[in-house]
Amino acid sequence: MKRKQSNSSASLLKGAAALSIAAIVSKLIGTLQKIPLQNIGGDGVFGIYNTVYPFYTLMITLAAAGIPTVVSKFVAERRAAGDEAGEMKVLSTASWAMLSFGAAGGMLMYLGAPLLAEWIGSSQLIPALRGAAPALLFVPLSAALRGFFQGQKNMMPTAVSQVTEQVVRVAVMVGLLLYFTAQGAAESVVAGSALAGSVFGGAAGLFVMLLYWREYRKTDCGRGDRSAARSGGNKSLLREMLRYGIPICLAALAVPLISLVDTFTLPRLLAFHGDELKVMTAVGVYNRAIPLVQLVTMLATSLSMLYIPVMAELNAKGDQEGIIRHTGLALRWFWLIGLAASAGLAVLAEPINMMLYKDSIGSATFAWVAWSAAPGALAAITAALLQGLGRVRAPAVHLLAAALLKAALNVLLVPQHGMTGAAIAGIAAYGCAAALNLALLLRRTGLRPRLADVLVRPAAAILAMMAAVLLLRLAAAASLPPGRLAALAESLLGVLLGAAVFAAAAVRARLITAAELAALPRYGPKLVQTLRKLRLLR
């Protein structure tokens, strides 16, 4: 019996690891695909895409967020009771509900595209809205099937389908972009083709899930009462699932809200600056830095998830000393990493802009947007720590408050300062979410960080890093010919030098110990050795 439990636990851990890796890979692909999108389509297409995509994300969240969690919970409960017919009934009910919600949402998005574009303030968005709409036929049903297999403690179907969905989506997007740009199509049509990649990706993800479902039905564990799988579910079960799933969905809605604020405010606030295409081009320039900031916050979010079970266990044991120790360490590391990322992106804004997007237009706005990475990383870790301590809803409420602040500041700043105003509003919004989370966390844990540790010494390390990178940039400008290849060299060397100087300065300022730096996987010992050779570390 013990061996069986051990094997089950090991299998579950492997599945969880596969699911985590798949989530990171999927998010990485989804973030970095915006670079070829801008390179092929240009800033106008980029702006239209980034205006519509948050709304598409909202629709997907409404239709499918929480469904895998809900279905997995209900399936696991029935599986534990040996009720295979009940498992099939859960899947059947969820599948019919998702098909209905997805079809209704897709039809609403397609037919309502002209009205929605009018609300947002640009008719350029209509093809993009319609291009993404059919994806709602596939993604919600995939979510139901993923939840079923997760309830079976089989995470591999979800992992494979997630990665497949993203790979197909990006591949089709790039192919359609190349085709329509070669045909000389209008920017709105090209952006619509890019959003259509979501349809093919969603279909591919569903196809993978159906293959796993077919294989499952062939096995002995799938040969139970199939009449439940063929029926349309039942209303009482659906009500029970919705009652459990709606709070999860509402919490998930908080995440895309800040991006959605830009969707509904920027086109109208910028309308007086020129025609609709010029407005979309300005939005595209504004969005150049956002994929890199999202990459930082995505990695921070993924890593912060590791703290949820740790904090939950410490909280259950009543280990207040352990809670304070882990909280202090996590806050310090994520704050320093976020600051270093923000400062590095800001000081290297021009060469990174040139390297990724072929020109340096909007580099000042790029630098402003970069500073949202630090509060974004802090918001991610504080949210995870609060969730681990049982405060699940508070981070979502704080993100809602941040979205409201973003909307208000956009109205105040964008008409006067353009995209720089939107970037400043973004810094303030993520700062608001991080500050509210932090205030609640400090009150809950009793942790009292010192001002010198939080601001003064980190500022000294950041200034040292920025000074070193600026000197490198001056040397590069004097010795390298202008162009994209030179920008690539300047960016990569700047990142390496900045990381080394910041690490050395942080250790000297006792923000990070040499032992903590050496404990970093793979590169930690090499970094410490290099810093000692350069006499930046004792």
User: Closest Cα to residue 267, out of 281, 284, 279?
Assistant: 279
Question: Is residue 489 one of the residues assigned to a domain?
Answer: yes
Question: Is residue 274 one of the residues assigned to a domain?
Answer: no
Question: Is residue 507 one of the residues assigned to a domain?
Answer: yes
- Chosen domain end from 424, 449, 474: 449
Please give the C-alpha separations between residue 263 and each of 61, 115, 269, 309, in angstroms, as whole numbers: 16, 14, 11, 35
231 and 248 in a single domain? The answer is: yes
CA distance 114 to 118: 6
pLDDT at 318 (0 to 100)? 85
Answer yes or no: are the C-beta atoms of 439 and 388 closer than 8 Å. Answer: no
100 and 25 in a single domain? The answer is: yes
Full pLDDT tens readout for the chain, 538 residues:
444 444 444 555 565 566 667 767 777 777 778 888 888 988 888 889 988 888 888 888 776 666 777 888 788 778 777 788 888 888 888 888 888 888 998 999 999 999 988 888 888 889 999 999 999 999 889 988 988 888 877 878 888 888 899 899 999 999 999 999 999 888 889 999 999 999 999 999 999 999 999 888 877 554 444 444 444 457 788 888 877 777 667 666 766 788 889 888 888 888 765 577 888 888 888 988 888 888 888 778 767 766 777 787 788 888 888 888 888 888 888 899 899 999 999 999 999 999 988 888 889 999 999 999 999 999 988 988 888 888 878 888 898 899 999 999 999 999 888 889 999 999 999 999 999 999 999 998 888 888 877 888 899 999 999 999 999 999 988 888 888 888 999 999 999 999 889 888 888 887 877 776 666 555 667 777 777 776 666 6
CA distance 50 to 191: 9
510 and 383 in a single domain? The answer is: no
Question: Is residue 275 one of the residues assigned to a domain?
Answer: no
- Here the tokens at position 317 are 């044991």
- Here the tokens at position 476 are 């590069």
401 and 514 in a single domain? The answer is: no
pLDDT at 468 (0 to 100)? 93
Question: Is residue 279 one of the residues assigned to a domain?
Answer: no
pLDDT at 303 (0 to 100)? 72
- Chosen domain end from 449, 467, 497: 449
Question: Is residue 84 one of the residues assigned to a domain?
Answer: yes
208 and 292 in a single domain? The answer is: no
415 and 459 in a single domain? The answer is: no
457 and 367 in a single domain? The answer is: no
Question: Is residue 267 one of the residues assigned to a domain?
Answer: no
CA distance 90 to 69: 12
442 and 454 in a single domain? The answer is: no
Q: Give residue 521's region: left, alpha or beta (phi > 0; psi -120 to 50).
A: beta
CB under 8 Å to 3, separation ≥6 — which residues? none
pLDDT at 178 (0 to 100)? 92
pLDDT at 449 (0 to 100)? 82
pLDDT at 158 (0 to 100)? 84
Place of tokens 């990493």: 337
What's the CA angle centered on 228, arms 225 and 233, to 5 degrees?
165
Provide the sign of the torsion angle of the four alpha carbons 158, 160, 164, 167, taken in this order.
Answer: positive
Q: What is the CA radius of gyration of the chain?
A: 24
pLDDT at 440 (0 to 100)? 93
434 and 482 in a single domain? The answer is: no
CA distance 124 to 268: 13
What's the CA angle centered on 287, arms 282 and 288, to 5 degrees?
105
Domain ranges, residue 127:
1-257
Give the CA count within 13 Å in the CB-facing half-sphere of 327: 30
381 and 430 in a single domain? The answer is: yes
Q: What are the backbone dihedrals phi and psi of residue 289, each rounded to the nearest 5 degrees, phi first?
A: -80, -20
Give the amino acid at 10: A
Answer yes or no: are the C-beta atoms of 256 and 54 closer than 8 Å. Answer: yes
210 and 75 in a single domain? The answer is: yes
To which H or E segment does residue 239 belong?
helix 235-269
Torsion, Cα of 346, 348, 350, 355 (10° steps): -130
Answer yes or no: are the C-beta atoms of 47 and 276 closer than 8 Å. Answer: no
Domain count, the chain: 3
**DSSP code at position 225:** -
- Chosen domain end from 449, 466, 497: 449
CA distance 172 to 196: 8
Question: Is residue 281 one of the residues assigned to a domain?
Answer: no
323 and 386 in a single domain? The answer is: yes
Answer yes or no: are the C-beta atoms of 369 and 293 closer than 8 Å. Answer: yes
